[in-house]
Structures are given as structure tokens and as C-alpha cells.
């Protein structure tokens, strides 16, 4: 992945994450019965924490430094969006950007597959437009 394609991938993931984060994520059917409401924003620090732990475990010191540059993960607001914005801005070395984008693509697209419409589905248009745009 070249720097330009890394930035393009970061924009794609940021836009997908922003779109997904505006939606309600149901935890199975229990959501409506127990009154629990979870959004993807609730998972941002968990995802960033996973990336940090995995990069430390695998000795990816450039990735660790990049992830911790804004401060400890547990203090970062909207950690996933921040990481993607910084990747889009070219703030990471290319190897670190590729390492992060590979994992973030898998994670974010997995959330989209489980909880959201296909990226090309219309954002507006009511329930019918969203239903027809869901992934199979």
C-alpha cells in the first residue's frame, strides 16, 4: 500500500466508521428487552486498546509510538476516528500506517457486515432503503 492509497483507505474507513457510529447497535435481541443501547462509539477505546496491545506484543514500536502520541489510550476521545484522521493526514510512517489499516479494515468492515448497511447503501431514504442496502 502506498502513502496515497493508505490515506485513501483511512478516509474510506473513517467515513464508514462515522456512518456506523450514528446507528444503534443491538446486542442480539436483548437490546429491546433490557433497555440496553450500545453504539460503536462505546467500542472506540476497546479497538484502540486492542491495536496498542497487539502492536506491543508484536514489537511494532512505531505503531505503539503513533497510538500513544495523543496520550494514554484510556484518555483519548473518539480514539478510532482520531487514529484514522491522523493516518489520513499522513502522520504515521508508511509501515505503521499499513499495519494499522490492515487491522482496522478487518475490524471496521466486520462491524459493518454485522451491524450496518453496505457502504454503498443510501444514508437517507428510510427503512426500505437501508434494508435493501444491507449486506448478505
Taking the model in full, what pTM does it have? 0.74
When divided into structural domains, the chain yields a total of 1
How far apart are the two ends of the chain, measured CA to CA in Å? 28
Containing H/E element for 48?
helix 44-57
| Domain encompassing residue 106 | 3-133
pLDDT digits (tens, 9 = 90+) for 15-44: 988 888 776 544 443 444 455 556 666 788
Percent of the chain with pLDDT strictly greater than 70: 68
pLDDT tens digits, one per residue of 70-105? 999 999 989 999 999 999 999 999 999 999 999 999
Q: Name 78's Cβ contacts closer than 8 Å, sequence gap at least 6.
A: 41, 44
Amino acid at each position: 500500500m502506498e502513502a496515497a492509497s493508505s490515506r485513501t483507505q483511512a478516509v474510506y474507513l473513517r467515513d464508514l466508521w462515522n456512518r456506523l457510529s450514528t446507528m444503534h447497535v443491538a446486542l442480539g435481541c436483548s437490546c429491546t428487552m433490557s433497555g440496553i443501547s450500545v453504539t460503536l462509539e462505546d467500542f472506540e477505546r476497546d479497538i484502540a486498546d486492542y491495536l496498542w496491545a497487539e502492536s506491543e506484543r508484536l514489537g511494532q514500536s512505531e505503531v505503539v509510538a503513533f497510538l500513544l502520541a495523543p496520550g494514554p489510550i484510556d484518555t483519548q476521545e473518539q480514539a478510532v476516528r482520531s487514529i484514522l484522521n491522523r493516518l489520513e493526514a499522513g502522520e504515521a510512517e508508511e509501515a505503521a500506517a499499513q499495519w494499522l489499516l490492515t487491522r482496522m479494515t478487518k475490524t471496521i468492515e466486520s462491524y459493518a457486515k454485522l451491524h450496518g448497511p453496505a457502504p454503498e447503501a443510501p444514508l437517507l431514504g428510510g427503512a426500505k432503503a437501508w434494508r435493501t442496502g444491507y449486506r448478505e
